[in-house]
Amino acid sequence: MGGTAALIVAARVPVAGIATLSAPAAFAGLDAAAVVAKLTGRKLFLAAELDTSATEAAKRFAAAAGDVRTLQIFPGNEHGTALLDGAAAAPVQQALRAFLTAPSP
């Protein structure tokens, strides 16, 4: 749910960038899929391939954002912060580190 809410806020308030871990497209009345196209900062959508709903949402977000480079799918079935210490922990952490430390355009 945190990623869904963060996407909605980032569509309303200018941010330098936003990264999500397994964010659902919609949750408890919040519809992030409807606003992703409005994001202006850098974006990174991460999910595990066997977390199918999160993977589908991440693909949908990347398509709406107009840049498939914003999408990274990792092996495993971890959801959310479990990605940070699951089977693909090292590449997930590296992707986040690279995103967070990259110079702003």
pLDDT at 100 over 70: yes
pLDDT tier for residue 104 given thresholds of 50, 70 and 90: confident
Q: What is the pTM of this model?
A: 0.93
Contact call for residues 35 and 62 (beta carbons, < 8 A): no
Q: What is the pLDDT of residues 60-70, one digit of tens each?
A: 999 998 876 78
Structure confidence by residue, pLDDT tens digits, 9-56 = 999 998 999 999 999 999 999 999 999 999 988 999 999 999 999 999
Instruction: Collapse the DSSP code of 66 into the 3-class scheme (helix H, G, I; strand E, B; otherwise coil) and give the result.
Output: coil
65: helix, strand or coil: helix
Q: Is the distance from CB of 12 to CB of 39 less than 8 angstroms? A: no
